[in-house]
């Protein structure tokens, strides 16, 4: 299958996140299977990832048959690997997608172009990538005890009021905050 330029980008993103390329396709038992790219999860993942290009209609038919054969071969050898198909290029028909999704996870990358192409590819591959936590401003998130101490250093009565509500659940905190804000607005 010919690469449209998206397959190497998908491979690069996956390699940057710890996946290893299997050169020469994939061999399951005595059968060899060729795809645009095949990657394997590292020590943290047992994923087998097939990256396929669907530029031609012939590629779609061949892809469906080949992926079904790979899934069957994995079943025959009782493999515990999860199979993921990353489809670069035009979207397969709903019928093909239903057939493929019965035997593997199917991720559709499409044909993103432009400056935001890598971002769209990353979004399509998100389930395979590690989570990254957003930074909460400049201050690190403080443990409960430190938050309590800081609040008590300010207005201890208000802090105790909210911490008492917090012990009863999120809904109580919302009600307490609403009551506190109403009282503050009435005093001004």
Which residue segments constitute the domains of the chain, with CATH numbers given? Answer: 6-128 (3.40.91.50), 144-187 (no CATH)
- Interacting residues of 22 by C-beta distance below 8 A, sequence separation 6+: 38, 39, 40
CA–CA separation, 103 and 131 (whole Å): 26
Q: What is the mean pLDDT of the chain?
A: 82
> So what's the pLDDT on residue 1?
41
The whole-number pLDDT of residue 145 equals 66
Token pair for residue 35?
A: 């795809």
Give tens-digit pLDDT for 116-172: 888 899 999 999 998 876 665 555 555 666 666 666 676 666 677 777 788 788 888
User: pLDDT band at 185, cuts 50/70/90?
Assistant: low
pLDDT (0 to 100) of residue 147: 61
Task: Tell me the three state secondary structure of residue 28.
Answer: strand
pLDDT value at 2 more than 50: no
Is residue 70 a contact partner of residue 107, using CB atoms and an 8 Å limit?
no
For residue 3, what pLDDT band results from cuts at 50, 70 and 90?
very low
């Amino acid at each position: 299958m010919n690469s449209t330029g998206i397959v190497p980008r998908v491979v690069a993103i996956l390699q940057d996140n710890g996946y290893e390329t299997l050169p020469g396709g994939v061999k399951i038992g005595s059968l060899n299977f060729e795809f645009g790219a095949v990657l394997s999860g590292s020590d943290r993942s047992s994923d087998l990832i097939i990256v396929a290009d669907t530029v031609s209609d012939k590629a779609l038919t061949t892809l469906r048959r080949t992926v079904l054969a790979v899934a069957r071969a994995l079943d025959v050898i009782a493999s515990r690997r999860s199979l993921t198909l990353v489809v670069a290029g035009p979207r397969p028909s709903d019928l093909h997608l239903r057939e493929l999704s019965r035997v593997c996870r199917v991720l559709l990358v499409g044909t993103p172009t432009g400056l935001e192409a890598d971002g769209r590819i990353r979004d399509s591959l998100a389930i395979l990538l590690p989570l990254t936590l957003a930074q909460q401003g400049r201050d690190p998130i403080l443990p409960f005890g430190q938050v309590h101490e800081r609040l008590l250093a300010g207005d201890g009565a208000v802090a105790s009021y909210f911490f008492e509500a917090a012990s009863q659940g999120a809904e109580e905190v919302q009600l307490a905050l609403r009551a506190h804000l109403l009282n503050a607005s009435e005093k001004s």
